[in-house]
Amino acid sequence: MELKVELGSRSYPIVLGHLAQLGPSLARERRPGRCVLVSNEVVAPLHARAALASLKGAGFEPTLLQIPDGEANKTLQTWQGLVAKLLESGVDRQTPLISLGGGVTGDIVGFAAASTLRGLPFVQVPTTLLAMVDASVGGKTGVNTPQGKNLVGSFYQPILVLAAMDTLATLSPEEFRCGLGEVLKHAVLEGESFFQWLGDNAQAVLAQEPQALEQAIARCCAYKAQIVAQDEREGGIRALLNCGHTLGHALERELGFGSLRHGEAVAIGMLGEAAICVSRGRADSAWTGRLRALTLALGLPVVAPAQLKVPAIVQATRHDKKRAHGILTAALPAGPGRVTLSAVTPAEISVAAQAILPPEAECPS
């Protein structure tokens, strides 16, 4: 299956397929020649050989580089080290840089592609569900800093996204479920049809039944491609894709990056942000009940770790990159297809935080 992100001369395909298609798919976008494949220490032993074989079979001359795995290594230091290796290897502006891994690897490699020689052709080969349905599409690249997530980076579109669905079989159950947090977010954004479908097919998707899984990924990618085509640099409607992220990023920051999986944080964040809608009278408890039930059906958490405290979560949102002129804007879900951008106050973040903490953790300390 093939979809497309329509961005004029910078449009690119999203191929839902297998790792063996990497070489032929890239050869349709760039003349075979030298390329660099960047993976991490976890994914490379599993999938680098197949990726390299596919590239060589299509006439490419690949070099393999590795970077550390995990959110804790999504840093300026990792990015700097990768750029140094690329320059040492003698890349030029026509050398495709290919990311083989999850969202963290894609973000780091994409930022390196954007910044090395002021731009190398960039290819995303996501190997996690989370990266397939979200991080690999749309051109957001970057790294974390101690102040918050993704505060240094750029918008830089790939020339190709190959969702290598055969790699999903090597994910741990926990990592696969993490990706379902972003699938759930897309269902909330798209509307009642996808939300209901996901509820009806939650067990099939969890079991990685091929037809259900492909449909879930395709619907997420199609929706995101449509949004990116309308608003590439998040000046308007694309900010809706941050649903669950305002609170979710705050949880990740407070716990330490990598302690809570991103998709888990997003799922919990949506429940907290839905509580703001209830407090405003824009939604009722029936909606939050439905959202909570589907979150649980997908094997995702509905409460944040008990060691978190409300004041700390409120303070963490002050580092959100979406804050402008002292005002924090969040994408608030009042129901399927009813997500709106709105300024939120510290008091409302407090309401959201209380909604997703265990009762014994709610009191400030």
Q: Report, as residue numbers or ranges, the catalytic residues.
A: 118, 140, 182, 224, 234, 238, 242, 245, 249, 262
Residue 97 makes CB contacts below 8 A (sequence gap 6+) with 35, 36, 38, 86, 91, 109, 112, 113, 116, 120, 121, 122, 123
φ, ψ for residue 257, nearest 5 deg: -55, 125
**Burial of 222: CB neighbours in 10 Å, binned 0-12, 13-18, 19+:** middle
Task: Kindly give, in sequence order, each residue whose CB lies less than 8 Å from that of residue 58, ignoring residues fewer than 6 positions away.
Answer: 22, 23, 24, 26, 27, 32
Phi, psi angle pair for 9, to nearest 5°: -70, -15
> What are the φ/ψ torsions at residue 119 (nearest 5 degrees)?
135, 115
The string of DSSP codes covering 295-326 is: HHHTT--SS--TT--HHHHHHHGGG-TT-BTT
Q: Whats the size of the chain, residue-wise?
A: 365
Q: At 142, is the secondary structure helix, strand, or coil?
A: strand
Spatial distance between the Cα atoms of 252 and 242, rounded to a whole number of angstroms: 15
Residue 106 burial by CB count (10 A; 0-12/13-18/19+): exposed, middle or buried?
buried
> Could you tell me which residues are beta bridge partners of residue 160?
123
CB atoms < 10 A from the CB of 12, how many? 22
Q: Hey, what amino acid is at 339?
A: V
CA distances for 53 relative to 76, 267, 325, angstroms: 31, 37, 51
